[in-house]
Amino acid sequence: MNESKVRWGILGCGRIARKFAADLRWVADAELTAIASRNNETLELFAKDFPCKHLHNNYESLVTNKEVDVIYVATPHSHHYEHTMLCLNNNKAVLCEKAFAINSRQAVEMVKTARANKVFLMEALWTKFLPHYKKLQEMLQQNTLGDIKSVLINFGFNTAGNPAQRLFDPSLGGGTLLDIGIYNVFMTMSVLGKPDFTEATMTPASSGVDEQIAVLFKYKNGAIAQLFSSFVTNLPTQAEINGTAGCITLTSRFYEPSATIQLSKKVPYEREIIPVDKEGGFGYQYEARHVNECLKKGLIESPVMTHADTLTLMEVLDMIRIKAGIKYPADR
């Protein structure tokens, strides 16, 4: 690996890959070296906006490119297992977009392969690296809210008129849960941990995937979380964390750096805005910087987004799908 620059490759040239490539410009020790897409037109358009040394029209040539240190896998959920394994088996470090895999079975194999090959692997749950998330964790560690009793999170938008095919395609891991509901589950587990009891119900789209889903987590200490995600209604997309000493609200788009932290204590409706230092960009630079740090230290696992974190999250997502009756072809 280059001493001064970590050389990135991007596998898949869709919308999220574009955001990630744009944010690499905020990372002083990162260099976009190669991109790969099986669609030549997409590849050329991407390269026009994000020039780099190597353009690959197949993934095999990307993962064998000796000038690439780490690959960001930005394909649909359904392909994460295949593409991550391709990278790992060619000794390429991987930052794999969420949801990490379709199910726990795939996730376990991915982690086992990374460990066996001694290659770095991390799930790209970018929210965990954002300034407002870190501030939230700091406040919770300081017991700002007392004992947490409930979490309420919603995330929804109306796809009518312009539905992306992948959102409703079972073969691509479509449905709200793995696309947006994962943020609800992740944030709740960041606050309350793995649930002791899980209930879930969903409304199926015509394709069979969940167009909306309601999830209930219960904990032995009495805490309860209610989570809702939807592709048919526009929701506030915010998170409320309620404790015996106060309430924190992460405002609209709670999972993005644009969110603000509102603290209410004693007087419920007087809210204090908690200041958080932010940079420009979309916010993907924070996780990229962390990956660079891990690679330069020779790590094969992030100490922040650990393999155990990913596997536990996947287990809970699997349980939700079982309870709600959501099935994908890859489960067979």
Give the domain ranges of the chain. Answer: 6-125+283-303, 131-279
Has residue 279 got a pLDDT over 80?
A: yes
Fold that domain 6-125+283-303 belongs to in CATH = Rossmann fold (3.40.50)
Fold that domain 131-279 belongs to in CATH = Dihydrodipicolinate Reductase; domain 2 (3.30.360)
Helix (H, G, I), strand (E, B) or coil at 232: coil
3-state DSSP percent of the chain in helix, strand and coil, to 5? 35, 25, 40
Give tens-digit pLDDT for 136-165. Answer: 999 999 999 999 999 999 999 999 866 667
Share of the chain above pLDDT 70, in %: 97
pLDDT of residue 19: 98
**Rounded CA gap, 144 and 269, in Å?**
17
Helix (H, G, I), strand (E, B) or coil at 36: strand
Task: Identify the band that residue 226 occupies on the pLDDT scale cut at 50, 70 and 90.
Answer: very high
Give tens-digit pLDDT for 64-115. Answer: 999 999 999 999 999 999 999 999 999 999 999 999 999 999 999 999 999 9
Task: Identify the band that residue 116 occupies on the pLDDT scale cut at 50, 70 and 90.
Answer: very high
Mean pLDDT confidence for 223-244: 96
Q: Assess contact for 123 and 310: CB atoms under 8 A.
A: yes
Q: Assess contact for 138 and 131: CB atoms under 8 A.
A: no
Question: Do 6-125+283-303 and 131-279 fold alike per CATH?
Answer: no
Task: Identify the band that residue 270 occupies on the pLDDT scale cut at 50, 70 and 90.
Answer: confident
pLDDT of residue 266: 72
Q: Which amino acid is at 5?
A: K
Residue 99 preceded by cis peptide, ω within 30: yes
Q: Which two tokens stand for residue 158?
A: 């109306």
Average pLDDT over all residues of the chain? 95
Give tens-digit pLDDT for 173-197. Answer: 999 999 999 999 999 999 999 999 9
Task: Identify the band that residue 131 occupies on the pLDDT scale cut at 50, 70 and 90.
Answer: very high
Task: Identify the band that residue 1 occupies on the pLDDT scale cut at 50, 70 and 90.
Answer: low
pLDDT of residue 137: 97
Element (H, E) at 35: strand 30-36
Mean pLDDT confidence for 1-27: 92
User: Which phi and psi angles does 282 have, rounded to 5°?
Assistant: -85, -25
pLDDT of residue 95: 98
pLDDT of residue 4: 86
Q: pTM, whole model, 2 decimals?
A: 0.95
Task: Identify the band that residue 238 occupies on the pLDDT scale cut at 50, 70 and 90.
Answer: very high
Q: Assess contact for 107 and 80: CB atoms under 8 A.
A: no
Task: Identify the band that residue 271 occupies on the pLDDT scale cut at 50, 70 and 90.
Answer: confident
Has residue 268 got a pLDDT over 70?
A: no
